[in-house]
Structure 1
Amino acid sequence: MSDLLDSIILPKRLPEVVSVPNPLYKSLQGKYFVGQTEQLTFSNTTNAWGALINPNGSGVNLFANVFTITNLSDKPFLVKIWFNTNLPGTGSVSSEVSPANTALIPPPVPKVQIQFNQNVNGIPVGGVNVFDRIVPSGATLVSEEDGKFIFPQGGNWSLFLTSPGPVAVSLSAIVAFGWYEEKTKRFK
């Protein structure tokens, strides 16, 4: 046993290594943002949506990191996650958005917008419905995507909320997002 211990040569001082999660790193740089929609209402005959919209001419790519959907209703509902679709109705821009790093002065302002609409008719057109989830009553669904969904200028990441059946219901939810932005090469 002593031969084994004698064969291990350790430096007098081990180097200290720190692992910083990417969302924290982006927050320290002033590139990470969080926010939510207003309370959204919809029913078995109407829909609602919340989306991260990367406007044309923003000069940034949108990296979707996390979303949450809080179901304030006593019934479950279906959420359809869409990439780069045309949503029904006209979206309202949320004012409930902040940089994650509130210590920076002046505070960074996101180029990407959270938009939402409620009690709308119609469904998304174009784009891709990449996956669906059921949101249980009185629960919050959280999905961490770690920035792997990337949307260029003019793109969007949309959560489309709909009743899962024809029975008359009134539903209510709040959608929240966390994302970061990186300048596109053309605008550096």
Structure 2
Amino acid sequence: MPKYLDLDSSSPSTYIPSLEYTVAIPINLAKSLEGKYFVGYADNLTFGRGTSAWARLYNPCNSGVNLHVTVWTVSDVSESTFRAQIWFNTDPPGRPQKSPLVTPSNLALCPLPCPKVNLQYASRVTGDPEGGIKAFVRRGQPETTIVDDEQGKFIFSPGGSFLIFLSNPESPELAAAGRIAFGWWEEPICSDE
């Protein structure tokens, strides 16, 4: 039965619908509202002429969270075709640098949450990743972007990592550069102690 609000006898009645809402919130939005979702990228990754580059989400051993990879992109590679190898829990060549280009996605929170997962990268490395699992490979043309929405299905416990390894084996004589970006959330690990 509809409800009416009679503010006073001289004003018309106002109809107030009795609605019940059921809302499905996308998981990425839910994690952002909780302050657990982060985005970031590694810029100016240089490779080619016998070298490679990589960027990864590394979950430190003492983080206390599980890493859920949501989305990744490889973009702005010019001049050369390229190969992007996706590795799980591998030891990459080169010296990792920590990217400062990371932010929480929910900027309405105060204080802003800080990620426990590190976005690391290296350019102009020689050799291949060691150990771990080469999960899959994507190939791209110059000036194209590769995007994959993983929806949080790749999950890494502390000590684990999700790495994208860039090279250009079809045109190794060319120098290349690009950018790798990630979106992820961090879920605290429950302790039964």
TM-score, with length taken from structure 2: 0.88
1:17 aligns with 2:25: no
> Contact 2:81–2:140 (CA<8 Å) still a contact in 1?
yes
Which protein has the bigger helix share?
Answer: 1
In structure 1, runs of 5+ residues without a counterpart are: 1-11
> Matches of residues 3-14 of structure 1 in structure 2 within 5 Å?
none
Aligned partner (choices 22, 45, 54) of residue 50 of structure 2: 45
> Matches of residues 100-115 of structure 1 in structure 2 within 5 Å?
100-115=105-120
CA distance in 2 between counterparts of 1:44 and 1:65 reads 32
Aligned residue type for 1:124: P
> Contact 2:81–2:170 (CA<8 Å) still a contact in 1?
no
CA distance in 2 between counterparts of 1:135 and 1:118 reads 18
Aligned residue type for 1:165: E
Aligned residue type for 1:140: T
CA distance in 2 between counterparts of 1:72 and 1:33 reads 24
Does the C-alpha gap of structure 1 residues 187 and 87 become closer, same or farther in structure 2, counting only changes over 3 Å?
A: farther
Q: Residue 140 of structure 2 corresponds to which residue in structure 1?
A: 135
Aligned residue type for 1:132: V
Aligned partner (choices 140, 150, 161) of residue 156 of structure 1: 161
Aligned residue type for 1:82: W
Aligned residue type for 1:120: V
> Matches of residues 37-186 of structure 1 in structure 2 within 5 Å?
37-165=42-170, 167-186=172-191
CA root-mean-square deviation: 1.6
Structure of greater Rg = 2
Question: Offset of 1:89 from its aligned partner?
Answer: 1.1
CA distance in 1 between counterparts of 2:102 and 2:192 reads 24
Does the C-alpha gap of structure 1 residues 85 and 169 become closer, same or farther in structure 2, counting only changes over 3 Å?
A: same
Identity %: 43
CA distance in 2 between counterparts of 1:142 and 1:187 reads 38
Does the C-alpha gap of structure 1 residues 68 and 23 become closer, same or farther in structure 2, counting only changes over 3 Å?
A: same
Question: Offset of 1:101 from its aligned partner?
Answer: 0.3
